[in-house]
């Protein structure tokens, strides 16, 4: 009943997803850069939702996981529209967005479009605006000139690419420079041993959000992934607070 299915976008892309219906807001998990719905946090939240009778939607962005497409063609704008299309097609009622790393940036872009359907947000090492602070000036110059930049990948054997199309679109989607017009309750989790996304980024995001109902939880010995058993338990407790 919960096997992977595919949703066809108007331009023919087939986006892989898993969906279970249930009570309360439907949790929509947004993976990080080059991640997919088979990751530990996504799987744990889906299993928890199924056991508790809650709604949950997982998906792979185009070019990632089981979805069709070329990763090099992926941008935040394109992936935002895919998420919104799936929400529109598969979910009735309010939405709880959970975004991990880059998914935390994408979470903001999706939230801005959901209007009154947005119930709450949970960021896990959220990384908004990382095209601005996550690269050296030399890398930024190469990307702006249309070159692909490759970096060492601590999570796999192949280097991590950043393509110029993604970079250019990201530079047009910056959010931390001013007030972010989102008013829903928000929880931000961040490990202080995160070597990929500075934990201060979550503090900047908390300050930029217009909502007053924002809480930041810093995990002193937590890394970027926050995938240990105790981290997953914290994530589950945080999500459960909205039901």
Residues known to be catalytic:
101, 194, 224
Helix segments in the chain, DSSP class H: 40-52, 76-90, 102-114, 130-133, 137-144, 164-171, 200-208, 229-240
Q: How many angstroms separate the Cα of 135 from the Cα of each of 90, 131, 139, 157?
A: 37, 7, 6, 21
Helix segments in 120-163, DSSP class H: 130-133, 137-144
**Contact present, 22 and 54 (Cβ < 8 Å):** yes
Indicate if the alpha-carbon torsion angle 95, 101, 104, 109 is positive or negative. Answer: negative
Category of 146 on φ-ψ map: left (φ > 0), alpha (ψ -120 to 50) or beta = left
Q: What distance in Å separates the CA atoms of residue 134 and residue 31, rounded to the nearest whole number?
A: 18
CB atoms within 10 A of CB 53: 12
Q: What distance in Å separates the CA atoms of residue 52 and residue 236, rounded to the nearest whole number?
A: 11
């Amino acid at each position: 009943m919960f096997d992977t299915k595919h949703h066809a976008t108007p331009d023919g892309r087939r986006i892989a997803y898993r969906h279970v219906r249930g009570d309360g807001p439907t949790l929509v998990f947004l993976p990080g850069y080059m991640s997919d719905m088979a990751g530990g946090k996504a799987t744990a939240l889906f299993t928890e939702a199924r056991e508790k009778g809650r709604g949950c939607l997982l998906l792979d962005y185009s070019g990632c996981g089981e979805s069709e497409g070329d990763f090099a063609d992926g941008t935040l704008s394109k992936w935002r529209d895919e998420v919104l299309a799936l929400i529109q097609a598969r979910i009735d009622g309010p939405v709880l967005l959970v975004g991990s790393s880059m998914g935390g940036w994408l979470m903001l872009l999706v939230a801005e479009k959901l209007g009154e359907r947005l119930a709450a947000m949970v960021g896990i090492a959220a990384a908004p605006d990382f095209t601005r602070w996550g690269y050296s000036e030399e890398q930024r110059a190469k990307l702006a000139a249309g070159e692909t930049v490759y970096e060492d990948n601590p999570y796999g054997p192949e280097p991590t690419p950043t393509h110029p199309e993604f970079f250019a679109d990201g530079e047009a989607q910056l959010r931390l420079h001013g007030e972010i017009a989102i008013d829903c309750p928000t929880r931000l989790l961040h490990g202080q041993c995160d070597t990929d996304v500075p934990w201060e980024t979550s503090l900047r995001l908390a300050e930029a959000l217009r909502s007053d109902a924002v809480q930041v939880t810093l995990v002193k010995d937590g890394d970027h992934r926050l995938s240990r058993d105790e981290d997953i338990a914290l994530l589950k407790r945080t999500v459960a607070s909205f039901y």
